[in-house]
């Protein structure tokens, strides 16, 4: 890897903007990279993207200089480690509602936790061109861990979750959080809950992340302390562009 890593930028408090990828096509990732996005997240939670397809997406991401994360349920190493081996820049894990789950995610992602199997033979290790110790150091320094806060019980455990070593981002999933809280989306109650997350993240000196459906929401939440944004998806960007095109049609 060259230049400043996504993790270093997040840790430095920079505002970074990405989008979800829901289409299992490497061309989409390549285009997003050429467009200059800070990162993208392949949505294995809500889209039909398997490990073989992630391999192609990760290849396109690295070729175009786009840090690519994956979002998928669970804290098991059998899905987290293979994605990092493919060259993904990190993981986003939904529904992390307690410290134990956060710790399990970090243990699956970081070699220095002692349980992730290590081999520099995959893409992330330059197919064996990196020495073992250098590979281990680079991966642990650069891999991003985002844990999603989207359950009401998690709000009472924020300080505990944020204190977990190696967690980089408390990422709010506002739709699921509003559902868990049984409040509107959007609503003042949801906004208040998001602010609780930003406050806990600030106390722990980690970043707050948030999904927004439209780029006009970014400045509003940036002023409130959010620095990591996932805005829409490849599908919504395509839909928005196509609809805008059709508004120019002559009657």
Total domain count, the chain: 1
Give 40's strand partners. 19, 68
| Mean pLDDT, residues 59-87 | 95
Answer whether residue 3 is part of any domain: no
How much is the pLDDT for 2? Answer: 44
CA-to-CA distance for 122 and 94, rounded, in angstroms? 26
Which CATH number characterizes residue 80's domain? 3.20.20.60
Answer whether residue 105 is part of any domain: yes
How much is the pLDDT for 209? Answer: 99
Answer whether residue 221 is part of any domain: yes
How much is the pLDDT for 251? Answer: 54
Residue 170: domain span: 10-246
Q: What's the pTM value of the predicted model, to 2 decimals?
A: 0.96
| Mean pLDDT, residues 163-190 | 98
Answer whether residue 251 is part of any domain: no
Answer whether residue 19 is part of any domain: yes
- Whether the per-residue pLDDT at 217 is higher than 90: the answer is yes
Answer whether residue 26 is part of any domain: yes
* Helix axes of 51-64 and 26-35: crossing angle, nearest 10 degrees: 30
Output the six-digit token pair for 207: 């970043």
Answer whether residue 5 is part of any domain: no
Answer whether residue 144 is part of any domain: yes
């Amino acid at each position: 890897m060259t230049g400043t890593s996504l993790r270093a930028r997040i840790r430095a408090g920079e505002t970074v903007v990405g989008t979800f990828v829901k289409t299992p096509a490497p061309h989409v990732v390549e285009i997003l990279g050429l467009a200059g996005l800070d990162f993208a997240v392949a949505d294995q939670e809500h889209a039909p993207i398997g490990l073989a397809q992630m391999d192609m997406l990760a290849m396109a991401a690295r070729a175009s200089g786009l840090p690519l994360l994956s979002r998928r349920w669970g804290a098991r190493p059998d899905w987290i480690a293979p994605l990092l081996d493919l060259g993904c820049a990190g993981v986003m894990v939904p529904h992390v509602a307690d410290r134990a789950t956060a710790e399990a995610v970090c243990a699956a992602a970081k070699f220095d936790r002692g349980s992730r199997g290590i081999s520099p033979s995959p893409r992330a290790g330059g197919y064996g061109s990196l020495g073992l110790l250098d590979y281990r150091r680079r991966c642990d320094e650069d891999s991003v861990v985002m844990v999603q806060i989207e359950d009401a019980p998690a709000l009472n455990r924020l300080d505990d979750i944020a204190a977990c070593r190696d967690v980089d981002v408390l990422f709010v999933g506002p739709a699921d959080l509003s559902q868990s809280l049984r409040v509107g989306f959007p609503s003042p109650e949801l906004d208040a809950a998001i602010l609780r997350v930003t406050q806990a993240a600030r106390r722990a000196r980690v970043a707050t992340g948030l999904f927004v459906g439209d780029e006009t929401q970014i400045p509003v939440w940036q002023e409130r302390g959010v620095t990591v944004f996932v805005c829409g998806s490849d599908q919504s960007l395509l839909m928005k562009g196509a609809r805008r095109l059709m508004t120019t049609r002559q009657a």
